[in-house]
Amino acid sequence: MGSSTLRDRRPQATLGDRRRVPAFGDRRLVARAGLALVLAHVRYWTSVAPVVRGELRRWEQRAGEIDDSELRALAQDKLHGEGFHAEAAAMLATLAPRAHRRDVVVAIVALELLYDYLDGLTERPSADPLARGERLFATFVDAVTVRDDGSRKFFEKSDGACGDYLEELSRSVGSAIARLPAASAITEVSQRTAARSGQAQTRMHAASQLGTAQVEAWARDEADWTELGWRELLAGAASSVLAVHALIAAAADPSTTREEAEEIASAYLSTCTVLTLLDGLVDHEEDTQAGDDESPPTPGGLGSASRGSGGIGYIDLYPDRDELSQVLTEATRRAALQARALTDGPHHAMMLIGVVAYYTSAPGARGELAAPIVKRLQAELQPLVSPTLALMRAWRLAKRMRAGNRRAPSSRGLASSLDKSRFLDRSRGSGGVQ
């Protein structure tokens, strides 16, 4: 995938004394973040959600036209089972000026569907999983590649029947980004971020065939020029489609610079580290139980948090709970400080809060492994996390009620009224709330 040519080699500043500064101790920031959340919801339901629903219907129809029955089933399963990923990701479009908001939504939805489909494709066994993953994820990198002359370079169709659908998703992303006023400001960092994400996903999926040494070697090289350890870099890179979504939203603002794009990518890499590790943490007990029947736990690790990679999960890379707890706490603090320093910092801070609240309100957050770590993270993000946790718990209750009502025909009206909360759900093997 050529990540070495795309990697940013500028050293990052370390946390240093910032660790002693409360992430959300500023009352003005708390008030601004609350206002940002309200404004984002108003914009979402009035100008974003209708476009998202239309785009999902369009791509669902297109997925149904895939000739290969197995690939068609995969694409449709991803749309039906994970379509809410695109709904959640589109929350970032509320940052865009209204004149460009539709293009941002179109790009985010298509990119999310492309990413989820590629995630499923690269989980499939292959004689050469790294080479195949690189070919497939070329569509992901190409989707965000807009040249100064406005031209587009589409990948070579080297994977048979899946090519047309992938190319159309990639073309939709690129065409929408090209219409954004600051597209050129985000192109380089978006390419690098997408390439890194593709490598992380491909290498973790290939670990069942090739082992983890190739994952570690790649991640150590990538982490050299960041303030993250290799395991944190790997976790953050895997779900960095979220970072690309944030960059797309920033491209809608004509004043966005390349320097600001770099800052967004760095901040969201930290947020994505938290997202990926929390996903593995809260799913740990369920994954371990499933893994007991399928594969042995990783030696020296916390157990088998499988993510379609032969029982190898991101939290398995940590030898004990204390280290995982310390890493997650530091990553959360770093992400909070970086998010609040961005342009539209309160909005980006609420994205992080939403990620943490979503996962720490899940049933798995009460497990033996997760509970003490969750308590520590929630304390780190006070006071903003408390009202968001209440919202997430209410949403989870509504979701359970909706599931019950689906089994009761007479209660379908209530289930329908609760449907609008679906966009908050963001759960995947290497990702989370967006």
Q: What's the chain's average pLDDT?
A: 80
Query: Which structure tokens are listed for 234?
Result: 């790997």
**Range in 180-189, 238-247, 361-370 with the lowest mean pLDDT:** 361-370
Percent of the chain with pLDDT over 70: 77
How confident is the model at residue 146, as a pLDDT?
Answer: 78
Query: Which structure tokens are listed for 22?
Result: 């409360």
Percent of the chain with pLDDT over 90: 50
Confidence of residue 153 (pLDDT cuts 50, 70, 90): low
Number of neighbours of residue 322 by Cβ within 10 angstroms: 11
In the chain, what are the domain boundaries?
21-424
Mean pLDDT of 84-113: 94
User: pLDDT digits over 116-143, tens only?
Assistant: 999 999 888 889 999 999 999 999 999 9
Q: Based on the number of CB atoms within 10 Å of its own CB, is 305 exposed (0-12), middle (13-18) or buried (19 or more)? A: buried
C-alpha–C-alpha distance, residues 408 and 61, integer Å: 29
Confidence of residue 255 (pLDDT cuts 50, 70, 90): very high
Crossing angle, helix 370-380 and helix 321-341, to 10 degrees? 20
Query: Which structure tokens are listed for 417?
Result: 């009224």
How confident is the model at residue 158, as a pLDDT?
Answer: 45
Mean pLDDT of 172-200: 96
Q: Quick check: 165 pLDDT over 60?
A: yes
The answer to whether 432 and 239 have CB atoms below 8 angstroms apart is yes
Query: Which structure tokens are listed for 293?
Result: 């029947």
Mean pLDDT of 102-111: 98
SS3 for the chain is CCHHHHCCCCCCCCCHHHHHCCCCCCHHHHHHHHHHHHHHHHHHHHHHHHHHHHHHHHHHHHHCCCCCHHHHHHHHHHHHHHHHHHHHHHHHHHHCCHHHHHHHHHHHHHHHHHHHHHHHHHCCCCCCHHHHHHHHHHHHHHHCCCCCCCCCCCCCCCCHHHHHHHHHHHHHHHHHHHCCCCHHHHHHHHHHHHHHHHHHHHHHHHHHHHCCHHHHHHHHHHHCCCCCCHHHHHHHHHCCHHHHHHHHHHHCCCCCCHHHHHHHHHHHHHHHHHHHHHHHHHCHHHHHHHHHHHCCCCCCCCCCCCCCCCCCCHHHHCCCHHHHHHHHHHHHHHHHHHHHHCCCHHHHHHHHHHHHHHHHCCHHHHCCCHHHHHHHHHHHCCCCHHHHHHHHHHHHHHHHHHHHHHCCHHHHHHHHHHHHHHHHCCCCCCCCCC
How confident is the model at residue 156, as a pLDDT?
Answer: 46
CA distances, 321 to each of 138, 278, 373 (Å): 36, 13, 8
C-alpha–C-alpha distance, residues 358 and 313, integer Å: 20
User: pLDDT digits over 265-317, tens only?
Assistant: 999 999 999 999 999 998 876 665 444 443 333 333 343 333 444 457 899 89
How confident is the model at residue 426, as a pLDDT?
Answer: 36
Handedness of CA 34, 29, 382, 266 (dihedral sign): positive
Confidence of residue 434 (pLDDT cuts 50, 70, 90): very low
C-alpha–C-alpha distance, residues 407 and 240, integer Å: 37
pTM higher than 0.85: no
Mean pLDDT of 62-82: 93
**Range in 119-128, 197-206, 380-389 with the lowest mean pLDDT:** 380-389
C-alpha–C-alpha distance, residues 420 and 416, integer Å: 8
User: pLDDT digits over 205-233, tens only?
Assistant: 999 889 999 999 999 999 988 889 999 99
The answer to whether 259 and 190 have CB atoms below 8 angstroms apart is no
Most confident among 15-29, 124-138, 140-154, 239-253 (mean pLDDT): 239-253
Fold of 21-424: Farnesyl Diphosphate Synthase (1.10.600)
Confidence of residue 61 (pLDDT cuts 50, 70, 90): very high
How confident is the model at residue 303, as a pLDDT?
Answer: 35
How confident is the model at residue 272, as a pLDDT?
Answer: 96
